[in-house]
Amino acid sequence: MKPRQAETKRKAVTRRVGPLVILLQGTESPTETEWAECLHLVGKVGDINSTRVLVVTAGGGPTLAQRRALEKVLAGTKVCSAVVSDSVKVRFIVASVALFSTQISTFQLREIHRAYEFLGLTHAQVVLAEKALTEMRAMLA
């Protein structure tokens, strides 16, 4: 009998919780497959203008090519996004995304509740988001 291979850990995990898309990233950029999953979820939500995105990252962010793909998916819509990270590199990436997605703001990890407020989440949505983040962390490398 073959030994069971360990499940491959991911660089990024995306999940949709109602109108909220949550992207959890480690320290590296997502793979192309992981980024495609994220873009699919962002573009799939009924009215993209009411979609909200929460990104929590330890320093990883989309590559230039991935940011260009994001720009195409958003195509002038107004998606409210909060990026939570202590990384200066991530803040630079957010500044470049803000050129085509103006409803985006960054928060430090200790300010995650301010990010929830920025996104206009209800208490029930915050509880669901926190539960999802806990589950997602177990999948991350």
How do the domains of the chain map onto residue ranges?
12-137
CATH classification number, 12-137, choose in 2.60.40, 1.10.1760, 3.30.750, 3.30.420: 3.30.750
Q: pLDDT tens, 78-117?
A: 789 999 999 999 999 999 888 888 889 999 999 999 999 9
82: number of Cβ within 10 Å: 24
Tokens of 98: 């803000």
- pTM for this model (two decimals): 0.89
Q: pLDDT tens, 16-68?
A: 998 899 999 999 999 999 999 999 888 765 555 578 999 999 999 999 999 99
What is the residue-wise DSSP string for 24-74? EE-SSPPPHHHHHHHHHHHHHSSSGGG-EEEEEESS----HHHHHHHHHHH
